Amino acid sequence: IAITFDDGPRRETTERLLAGLAERGARATFFLIGKQIEGNEDLVERMQAEGHQIGSHTWNHVRLLGVTEETIRQEVGQTEAALESLLGGEDYWLRPPYGIIDDAGLRWAGSPVVLWSVDPEDWKDQDTGRVVGSVLSHVEDGSIILLHDIYDSSVDAALQIADALSGQGYCFVTVEQLLQAKGIQPQDGTVYRCAK
Q: Please report, as ranges, the residues that interact with Ni ion according to CB under 5 A.
A: 6-7, 97
CB of 62 to Ni ion, least distance (A): 10
- Residue 147 or 165 with smaller CB distance to Ni ion: 147
Active-site residue, from 7, 122, 148, 149? 148
The minimum distance between CB 177 and Ni ion, in angstroms, equals 22
Residue 7 or 122 having the CB closest to Ni ion: 7
Q: Which amino acid is at 191?
A: V
Residue of 6, 7, 122, 149 marked active site? 6
User: Hey, is 54 helix, strand or coil?
Assistant: strand
**Residue number with CB closer to Ni ion (97 or 112):** 97
Q: Which is nearer to Ni ion, 97 or 105 (CB)?
A: 97
**Shortest Å, Cβ 6 to Ni ion:** 4
Q: 112 vs 165, which CB is nearer to Ni ion?
A: 112
**Paired strand residues for 30:** 5, 54
- Asked if 188 is an active-site residue, the reply is no
CA distance 65 to 67: 5
Neighbours of 40 (CB within 10 A): 18
Nearest approach in angstroms of CB 65 to Ni ion is: 14
What are the DSSP calls for 6-45, one per residue?
Answer: ES---HHHHHHHHHHHHHHT---EEEE-GGGSTT-HHHHH
Please report how close the Cβ of residue 33 comes to Ni ion at its closest, in angstroms. Answer: 7
**Catalytic-residue membership of 6:** yes
Q: How far is CA 148 from CA 4, 19, 47, 93, in A?
A: 8, 16, 15, 17
In 3D space, the residue among 108, 156, 155, 144 whose CA is nearest the CA of residue 4 turns out to be 144
d(CA 74, CA 33): 13
Query: Bridge-partner residues for 64, per DSSP?
Result: 101
Catalytic residues: 6, 148
